[in-house]
């Protein structure tokens, strides 16, 4: 049986979802080292396919002590619904796109990031904003990723 999969999805897969992927990879390794989990990211649109993560996203991750892996944007495809049981949209627009795309055979969960209060939250797209918007996106993503990992894997070790 494959380990559970966690897929982060934004529009272009160059800002929010690569940030969430990097945060989740480190958080998983540090807090749940004994639990297997496949982690990846993609976008709902194809216009950035093959492009690296936005340099501002990479800079903000590095400044916060993350080691962003080399990244190439990609668009979600039908195989992702078989490979990942937990699909996390960064905002409601992408959640709607994913919901419409979902094959009937998908038996996982598609949702927004969790907040500590148990509600779901959107991560504003920082692409057309300044570096501070990327810093704020990272802060929100760190909180949400911890909550999602706890939901999937249980309390940290």
- Any idea which residues carry the catalytic annotation? 10, 16, 125
* Closest listed residue to residue 112, CA positions, set 146, 87, 83: 87
**Rounded CA gap, 71 and 35, in Å?**
24
**Rounded CA gap, 23 and 145, in Å?**
7
Beta strands in the chain (DSSP E): 5-10, 38-43, 86-89, 109-114, 120-121
How do strand 109-114 and strand 120-121 relate by DSSP bridges?
Answer: antiparallel
Q: What Rg do the C-alpha atoms of the chain give, in angstroms?
A: 14
């Amino acid at each position: 049986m494959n380990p559970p999969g966690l897929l982060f999805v934004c529009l272009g897969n160059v800002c929010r979802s690569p940030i969430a992927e990097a945060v989740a990879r480190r958080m998983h390794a540090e807090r749940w080292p004994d639990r297997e989990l496949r982690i990846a990211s993609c976008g709902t649109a194809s216009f950035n396919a093959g492009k690296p993560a936005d340099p501002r996203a990479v800079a903000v991750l590095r400044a916060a002590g993350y080691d962003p892996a080399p990244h190439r944007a990609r668009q979600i495809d039908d195989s992702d619904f078989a490979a990942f049981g937990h699909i996390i949209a960064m905002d409601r627009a992408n959640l709607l796109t994913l919901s419409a795309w979902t094959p009937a055979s998908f038996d996982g969960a598609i949702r927004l990031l969790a907040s500590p209060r148990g509600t779901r939250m959107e991560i504003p797209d920082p692409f057309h904003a300044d570096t501070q918007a990327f810093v704020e996106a990272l802060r929100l993503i760190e909180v949400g990723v911890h909550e999602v990992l706890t939901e999937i894997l249980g309390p940290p070790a």
